[in-house]
Structure 1
């Protein structure tokens, strides 16, 4: 096979500069690894320079040569005077950062070649996974390589503050506007300032509390108020059933009547209006059951590439996602930890808020006060750790059937939405009203 991509001149220049300039030494030691060098002699010399530096000795031709001899590596070099040649050939140590970038770019190219070779060599193996996983893994491998191109280091406070000041100035010109995606619920947006880009948001509840319905309300509100693209991964419910729920919420027609088609003329008119309204939104649904984490990441990435205005992603729900770890029968908590971490990485990479629905453990049902707590997040504390925002749904009417003075059920439809964790803002409770027959949430009216 022909030589893989590398730059002999850049590798020699970097190693020589490291033995002349302390600035070049510190920069290259921090940003380069042994595998970044293609020439075998250069791998040995770089590792030796790094060892001398770690021993807090001055790095120069003498100390490096001595260390090579002590490690028995001097004889492994093609010629023993090579160390002196590296230093003699340095034109400008101050250009070491430019040489470093060339080396890193060649590393990326070599890794791409390696991934491509693996793709070619593995396609016909009998034990190959299903094609979706195979493609998603190849895409992930390539993405990891492209991410590694960033060889930057620290940013100064001055540079960070300059960007921050500009953002604050732009926000000040739009007072009253949210910095994130509008949820459609004023009291919630007051606490969150909208769903923020790059955030992993967990919406959790026990079954039948209305978490899917609330998530779909978020979708409808965001689509209407922002006009941006919304992606939904529905692992539990077919897309038609999901759209039927949104149709009920949007039209204010009872969902059971839509299912039975027992509709009067006025209701059919409402349905027609809602269909036209929803058809003009940019809502996309993927209803693949048992979707793998890698598939979700790949499909979300593709949606972002096609629709650069992607504003929100919904995943319903987290515990139904599968991973290669789970397929091998490993600990379920490790699998859920991998899923939550993967969803957080997806949110940051695509720079969109990701709302993941989650189940709660049965421990809730064993307590007198059945309001959820962070410890109730099912199967993994890593969900709490990875999430930027955790919201719990609690409906008192689900557990109690108290009557008011007129004999009617008390507080029916009153929902407590508790923000139990908020990495970048306040926590608190938001009261909503849930009209279950329409799958519709609204803010609770405030009376003086």
Structure 2
């Protein structure tokens, strides 16, 4: 018990120095045993790292103890300590369950009652859906009294199949290099920011400047390769006009080019969601994730499962870009199939929607085919969009 309290004090001292670690720690008041520690954790959540404001939450007799914690020399408070505190919370929960079951057994209760007790404990940790409520919600959507949430792509032909991306979904946009994954994703998200959706774009391949150049090219009609060269007066006018139109729209877009690992990306998504809300997250692209394990397929599977769970937990749409296998280019029929997804079958399994892109670079470079290869809540199909790769533009 004493060890538990010391661990709690160490973690609280760290949080008092840097309240931004609250999100990373994934702790709650229930992870602390000591009542004062619970109260201190709640105070940090409310007022941050301001010691004076934290102390104001406590009576005079408690304030010396708070100062004692704040003055602790923090050599720990690392992630493994957060995990240890979580582990101890789970141990206490299991001890409570066992104690309750032992009492039921000692009282000679029936097996049905014992199983009921087990189910009650499970409900504390698992959100159990009330089927009646779910069915009422579905009927309300069908009758139009409640509108389901969709984030359309902005492309009419495609949205006839998808209606849009919905909260809780993991969606895939896949293609071979140079076909236009980033171009398609960028056009989707810019259409969505026009509809006032809040979006984060994680670019693991390009810098924020390179992404911004492509956004400006798309909205001004200037070729991307002109963005690093001196502009003509006519080009400058087009760029300035595009900047004015983009100013309000891009307040809803956050670009991140400095994180490469799954934990970093999930922490940043949670932070942005808590700070200002998020509707959609785009990640470009899966195969550039910094993967530590030896088994790449297993690690890719871990990434897609984690992102799927995150989408469900936060009720956001995550769109993950992915490469297709090189073997696609050696086939007579080069229309991509689900089996062409690179690195792991779990991509197909975890995804709600899989869009695959195809473009004949030699004969029809300005025609983009979008193959809807998986659509959990709709039909499959194929649509053609017009594209101008030089200026990153896509049209219906």
Using the size of structure 1 for normalisation, the TM-score is: 0.63
- Root-mean-square deviation (CA, aligned residues, Å) is 2.5
- Show the counterpart of 1:297: 266
- Show the counterpart of 2:136: 162
Q: Which moved more, 1:11-20 or 1:352-361?
A: 11-20
Distance in 2, matches of 1:149 and 1:317, equals 37
Q: How far apart are residue 167 of structure 1 and its match?
A: 3.6
CA contact (8 A) 1:179 1:193 kept: no
Residue deviations 1:89-120 (CA, integer Å, cap 9, x gap): xxxxxxxx5xx5xxx8xxxxxxxxxxxxxxxx
2:190 to 220, 223, 233: 220
- Show the counterpart of 2:255: 285
In structure 2, the CA distance between the partners of 1:296 and 1:427, relative to structure 1 (3 Å rule), is same
Distance in 2, matches of 1:342 and 1:173, equals 30
CA contact (8 A) 2:149 2:167 kept: no
Distance in 1, matches of 2:133 and 2:365, equals 53
Trace 1:90-239 onto structure 2 (pairs within 5 A). 97=120, 100=121, 149-153=124-128, 155-169=129-143, 171=144, 179-225=149-195, 227-239=196-208
Do structure 1's residue 247 and structure 2's residue 244 form an aligned pair? Answer: no
Q: How far apart are residue 412 of structure 1 and its match?
A: 3.9
In structure 2, the CA distance between the partners of 1:351 and 1:152, relative to structure 1 (3 Å rule), is closer
In structure 2, the CA distance between the partners of 1:158 and 1:191, relative to structure 1 (3 Å rule), is same
CA contact (8 A) 1:415 1:432 kept: yes
Using the size of structure 2 for normalisation, the TM-score is: 0.71
Residue deviations 1:387-446 (CA, integer Å, cap 9, x gap): 1111111112x1x43xxxxxxxxx440111000111111010111011112100001xxx
2:286 to 300, 314, 318: 318
CA contact (8 A) 2:201 2:256 kept: yes
In structure 2, the CA distance between the partners of 1:152 and 1:390, relative to structure 1 (3 Å rule), is closer
- Show the counterpart of 1:76: none
Q: How far apart are residue 349 of structure 1 and its match?
A: 1.6
Residue deviations 1:332-359 (CA, integer Å, cap 9, x gap): 1111111111221121122111111101
SS at match of 1:260: coil
Do structure 1's residue 370 and structure 2's residue 334 form an aligned pair? Answer: yes
Runs of at least 5 residues in structure 2 that lack an aligned partner in the other structure:
5-32, 34-91
In structure 2, the CA distance between the partners of 1:244 and 1:3, relative to structure 1 (3 Å rule), is closer
Distance in 2, matches of 1:17 and 1:3, equals 31
CA contact (8 A) 1:418 1:428 kept: yes
Residue deviations 1:358-384 (CA, integer Å, cap 9, x gap): 011111111112111111111111111
